[in-house]
Amino acid sequence: MIAFNHVTKSYSEDKIAVKDVNFTVEEGKIVVLLGPSGCGKTTLLRMVNRLESISDGEIIIGNENSMDLDAIELRRKIGYVIQSNGLFPNMTIEENVMLVPDLLGWSKKQKKERFTYLMKLIGLDAADYRKRFPHELSGGQQQRIGVVRALAADPPVMLMDEPFGALDPIIRERIQDEFLQIQREVKKTILFVSHDIDEAIKMADKIVLLRDGEIMQYDTPSEMLAHPKNEFVSQFFGKDRAIKSLSLHTVQNLQEIIGLAPIDETIQDTKTINVNQDLRNTLSMLMNQEADQVVVTNDQGENIGSITIDLVQKYLHFEIKGKLSVSQEG
Ligand SMILES: Nc1ncnc2c1ncn2[C@@H]1O[C@H](COP(=O)(O)OP(=O)(O)OP(=O)(O)O)[C@@H](O)[C@H]1O
Ligand SMILES: [Mg+2]
């Protein structure tokens, strides 16, 4: 657990970067700090591991006040992924990943086992990559290494500052999925910075939306999309809030509420989608292909019906827009 209690940070008398911030990251959850450039996201993160001092208020990690902990000790217990992956160019991949375990005095055998386990998590062959240097990896692979390096000593808390920021959209989505998969297994308490709305909606259990160092809203993604607390929040998520929130719903949700359409066997080359896929992906599939149906399959790979633009629209209208409290105008 990480709790921010009335946390304020001023860099100078007239530069207040964070103003009276209150929120809690529950054990095993991902909270995304979202907001425009300069709103104080990195500052908040760096106060947790004491790379930045706190001007007022306190940060509680587990049961302890961060100020009562030894700063070096604290940083070893907190995994930190910085934006540009921060790998050391002159160290091998194994040396980079095992940096903190090395500092903690792990044995050679322990380190080797851990390295092999971590590489497996990100789908890279440990033997193949062990002795390579960062420049011998692709950008996406380097970012994965940055992430597992933060996981290396199995810290309960992770701070991730735009960890996938430098990646192109397709690789980025893949790494997000992969990371969520890993998180289901390791259940870390994570504070994650992003300025990308789609990424925040996808990754967050809860979002902290900031403006000029102040929290505008702290809520689950679906609550924030459905019930923005003020004009700033609603403007920030934009007019297509409803479409964005499709990514929080699956084909199965639609099936349960309005049912699937029968499969039109006369349509050739129909694409298929798994029933657990989200509706935003489904919509983009429908919009990108000529045919007007996508066949839905269950986990056994059986065709169980089809989905059409009409159905997605219907669902959007009744299930999503029906629940939006603020109108879509403006
Ligand atoms: N060391 C510093 N000294 C003075 N002002 C600073 C310092 N670091 C950050 N600031 C200011 O504090 C505010 C918040 O900065 P911060 O880096 O936390 O923003 P951010 O939300 O992470 O932005 P970005 O999305 O661009 O990374 C900004 O106005 C910034 O100029
Ligand atoms: Mg920043």
CA of 186 to the centre of ligand 2 (A): 26
CA of 264 to the centre of ligand 1 (A): 55
Residue whose structure tokens are 């633009």: 309
Supply the pLDDT for residue 324. Answer: 53
300-to-68, 274, 275, 289, 304 alpha-carbon distances in Å: 53, 10, 11, 25, 10
Residues 6+ apart with CB under 8 A from 187: 27, 28
What are the angstrom distances between the C-alpha of 123 and each of 21, 85, 128, 324? 38, 18, 12, 40
Please compute the mean of the pLDDT values over residues 304-318 and round it to a whole number.
Answer: 88
Q: Which of 69, 52, 48 is nearest to 4 (CA)?
A: 48
The class (CATH top level) of 2-238 is alpha beta
Tell me the pLDDT tens digit for each residue of 7-16: 999 999 888 9
Q: Where do the structural domains in the chain lie, given as residue ranges?
A: 2-238, 245-323
pLDDT band at residue 290 using 50, 70 and 90 as cut-offs = low
Binned at pLDDT 50, 70 and 90, residue 45 comes out as: very high
* DSSP secondary structure letters along 61-77: ETTEEGGGS-HHHHHHH
Q: What is the reported pLDDT for 154?
A: 87
What confidence category does residue 48 fall into, taking pLDDT thresholds of 50, 70 and 90? very high
Q: Whose CA is nearest to atom 27 of ligand 1?
A: 37
Q: What is the pLDDT of residues 211-247, one digit of tens each?
A: 999 999 999 998 898 889 999 999 998 877 878 888 8
- How does the average pLDDT of the chain come out, rounded? 89
pLDDT score of 327 more than 80 = no
Q: Is the domain 245-323 a CATH 3.40.50.2300 member?
A: no
Q: Do domains 2-238 and 245-323 have the same CATH topology?
A: no
Q: Which atom of ligand 1 is nearest to the CA of 11?
A: 4
DSSP string for 153-199: T--SEEEEESTTTTS-HHHHHHHHHHHHHHHHHH--EEEEEE--HHH
34 lines ligand 1 (CB under 6 A): no
Closest atom of ligand 1 relative to the 12 alpha carbon:
4
Whole-number Å distance, alpha carbon 20 to ligand 1 midpoint, is 16
Q: Are 150 and 160 in contact (CB under 8 A)?
A: yes
Read off the pLDDT of residues 107-130 as tens digits, 9 standing for 90 and up: 999 999 999 999 988 889 999 999
11 Cβ below 6 A of ligand 1: yes
**pLDDT for residue 169:** 78
Q: What is d(CA 4, CA 75) in angstroms, rounded to the nearest whole number?
A: 17
pLDDT higher than threshold 80 for residue 321: no
- pLDDT tens digits, 136-169: 998 888 988 998 898 898 899 999 999 888 777 7
